[in-house]
Structure 1
């Protein structure tokens, strides 16, 4: 038995489901297969930062993520000896820092389990088929597509896809099958984790908490204590050295002793619900694309959890890849557009993974600190909105392709995120960010550019919408976007600037830019 799908996605975690959602948003159906029986039920990554919420907002998921966020008194992030103190450093004392000057989106605190469930529901609404308890047995690719063999309880079947997205986790059999290596810091350490039921209200109060623990009495000298969606359940973890012991050496008595040390409550009545072990690594794939196969999420980059950007980066991988796949499949772009997936996402993945590693050293493993080590970037404006993409854009003379810029002082350069500017409309105030997400958008204050955009859209058959700022729609947008009153800015569906004309120009100028960006 054989079947066909435009895109086969292997893995129904955050990256795979996000890719499916955004493909669906662009009108492209996909098939998602997952070897497990359902989405995650374990406490893992938590939180949706502002840049991810911008993307989720475009997909109509902002409210769902907020509704799934715990209704506590805020989020607390501390470095401490135990949850009961003493506290060495408080990193966050509120849920998320307000970034209203940079984005119309807020942040959410939904768990990975809730986020995956929400993404799966939305993906199905947008035409995605999801098959659980289904694994990828093998695949082959050529210039015409990918032939994959899938297996489930009923047997095997062959699927022909135009493209394959590897969202199959940090061990990624697909990545290994392609012979793609990885680079980075390697293993940071091994740890054992317990899901625990206990009443810690007297210690943590009515708050979501994450404690990075530094205590020589803890196994490995370090640990974590983290809230879950349930106020009486927590995840507690400590380090161990696999050269001298293994998870089986943690008897129930020893485990409970470690849990009580982490909580700072010697007589804590705790019930261990589940036990797991893991190794914390920092590595990035040497390339994110191989022919018709593209890597996202942990298949592309694994990182320590310190900083909370791993799950967010997985979501954004899908967001940035989906519009490109959809454009190529619709015939609006040539296959060369997909070369930009590696060119754009790998440098960002390396940046974020390295930053999480630095966070891990500061918060959990100060014993590994070396003189001269760079400190982590803690400015959210830089991490969330300051990175640039230098692939599917028309760079300007003098642009050296810097990876980072100050998002609070936007330049409007191609490759940078389109700045958030508030516009007044007859229907109320909107952000420029709210104008993006489906096709290309040409922002301009000139009717001549509007006419040019309509001409080019019809001639090339691309999704290009001119947005005239003037008349009923007003706002001081030209400064942040670096153009004059008669200029124009071309914004990609992922709200990154692709090209601009500082002043007047022609339809031929716009068409040339689009042909360059779309590999036409």
Structure 2
């Protein structure tokens, strides 16, 4: 009989959200246990594309290059069009031949790998950092109290118990954990069901030799979407079905699916080989809370949205990125448990925003008949991804903050709760490369750098000063030459001093951000707790 195991964090689900959470927990020194009921990672070429904010996080984790190489060369183009069929009349082009140039906003470029390729990369990195991953393992129930969570799990050898301090629920859009916790959802609910068909066909000439093509089809009798995959010659198309009528993906014969593929492509005699078909749901739902006691929801368990716009998978990865450092801070003792309340405070408004944007994109791209005026107005993508703010949560907010969730990253304010602006340091090093492992105090003032050393030592917080020359970066961060900007491990600004201040002010701000109740007292003397870096 197996004895009870004990782990700091149990991650339920090995998809993009769970794999990300485990990887970033490992990066912050917390070895997690990941359990996944399926026998392996996804074999479906979906959730393709890693946006700029995601690539920033993956760069911090050391896997951005691997992910980029797993996708395709964006220089060959990435057309997204609305058309009658792949070979037929184009009604509207959404994205042109090249992705937008955001080099003034971030040092990274986007990538175009699918979930099928990315999940193993994230899990491999997580294992390198101490994570255990167990496939074919199902969570039967969770019981939690003030001391931790006990999970009853089952694998091929039988049932056993895992005791954890915290649980990350990344168990998908149906999320048995969310349901068992009694966490409700809000949104537009179920929007439909689709059959996604993988097939092989020679279409290179038709899609002009591009490695990527995405067509949203209107008025086509075969289906409503066509997309390329990571594998040349393998494609995916989709069409709606209604399970309430007894319809099932497996009820369609290969011959019927071939006819649908030919209609979608627009070539009546196309040679088609059906590879696979799978049913999937389409919904717009956001959990009413992302935190229930010691359990934290991420990915589709927290927010389910239409795929239009490509941010479902990106948001799942970023959920893990933003949650991991907070769990590590609490488990390692340099933050109070209240810090974890900010997971809901910060991520749920973003989940609402992105789900609403994806729904609005669906209306524009493939379902104009559903437009009724209640859909959200579309927000510029650079604001969605790099201009999103956390005006509440783990920050020391400024009294004059208007609480806005979005700003233009090309005109940064540098206020707490905002994404740290992209600036170049010495020798062509981006500011991004000094973030990710702890708190960083950016400053041109040796006095603030000295204060950071004292506070890091006194509070036992991973904090370092980055002493910079005076320059344009001061304007981007909204401080003067005598000021300082405190950046969280997830590269959100936590606090700033526009001018001269004291170690006591910095300490008090950190205690506010980290939900500590020790008042931020600072010793008058003593060795520094961290090095000062120049850049």
TM range, normalised to the smaller chain? Answer: over 0.9
Shift of 1:164: 0.4
Shift of 1:23: 0.6
The aligned residue for residue 521 of structure 2 is: none
The match for 1:43 among 45, 58, 79 is: 45
Matches of 2:496 and 2:70, distance apart in 1: 39
The aligned residue for residue 210 of structure 1 is: 214
Matches of 2:431 and 2:335, distance apart in 1: 25
Shift of 1:254: 2.3
1:86 aligns with 2:64: no
Counterpart secondary structure, 1:325: helix
Summarize the alignment of residues 443-482 of structure 1 with structure 2, pairs less than 5 Å apart. Answer: 443-470=442-469, 475-482=471-478
Counterpart secondary structure, 2:347: helix
Summarize the alignment of residues 59-458 of structure 1 with structure 2, pairs less than 5 Å apart. Answer: 59-71=61-73, 73-207=76-210, 208-218=212-222, 222-244=223-245, 246-247=247-248, 248-371=250-373, 373-377=375-379, 379-389=380-390, 390-424=392-426, 428-458=427-457
Matches of 1:515 and 1:70, distance apart in 2: 44
**Structure 2: segments with no counterpart, 5+ residues:** 517-535
Could you list the per-position Cα deviations for residues 451-492 of structure 1 after superposition, in whole angstroms to 9, with x for gaps in the alignment?
Answer: 11111110000000011002xxx6421101000000001000
Matches of 1:134 and 1:373, distance apart in 2: 40
**1:31 touches 1:129 (CA, 8 Å); kept in 2?**
yes
Shift of 1:308: 0.3
Matches of 2:401 and 2:303, distance apart in 1: 27
Matches of 2:246 and 2:96, distance apart in 1: 37
Counterpart secondary structure, 2:421: coil
**Count of aligned pairs:** 510
- Calculate the TM-score normalised by the size of structure 2: 0.93
Matches of 1:37 and 1:216, distance apart in 2: 36
Q: Which one has a larger percent strand, Structure 1 or Structure 2? A: 1
**1:196 touches 1:274 (CA, 8 Å); kept in 2?**
yes
1:507 aligns with 2:503: yes
Counterpart secondary structure, 1:321: helix
- Calculate the TM-score normalised by the size of structure 1: 0.96
**Structure 1: segments with no counterpart, 5+ residues:** none
Counterpart secondary structure, 1:353: helix
Counterpart secondary structure, 1:273: strand
Shift of 1:433: 1.5
Counterpart secondary structure, 1:47: coil
Counterpart secondary structure, 2:79: strand
Matches of 2:309 and 2:318, distance apart in 1: 16
The match for 2:490 among 468, 490, 494 is: 494
Could you list the per-position Cα deviations for residues 79-137 of structure 1 after superposition, in whole angstroms to 9, with x for gaps in the alignment?
Answer: 11111121011111235322101001111111101100100110000000001111111
Counterpart secondary structure, 2:479: coil
Could you list the per-position Cα deviations for residues 158-188 of structure 1 after superposition, in whole angstroms to 9, with x for gaps in the alignment?
Answer: 1111000000000001000100000001122
Matches of 1:201 and 1:512, distance apart in 2: 61
**2:196 touches 2:237 (CA, 8 Å); kept in 1?**
yes
Matches of 1:70 and 1:477, distance apart in 2: 34
Question: What RMSD, in angstroms, separates the aligned Cα atoms of the two structures?
Answer: 1.3
Counterpart secondary structure, 1:443: strand
**1:423 touches 1:475 (CA, 8 Å); kept in 2?**
no
Matches of 2:435 and 2:411, distance apart in 1: 21
Matches of 2:288 and 2:193, distance apart in 1: 24
Matches of 2:312 and 2:421, distance apart in 1: 24
Shift of 1:245: 5.8
Shift of 1:243: 4.7
Matches of 2:459 and 2:416, distance apart in 1: 21
Counterpart secondary structure, 1:195: strand
Matches of 2:175 and 2:245, distance apart in 1: 28
**1:47 touches 1:108 (CA, 8 Å); kept in 2?**
yes
Matches of 2:453 and 2:112, distance apart in 1: 41
Matches of 1:346 and 1:107, distance apart in 2: 24
Shift of 1:62: 1.2
The answer to which of 497-506 and 272-281 deviates more is 272-281
Matches of 2:57 and 2:463, distance apart in 1: 19
Counterpart secondary structure, 1:201: coil
Matches of 1:478 and 1:253, distance apart in 2: 64
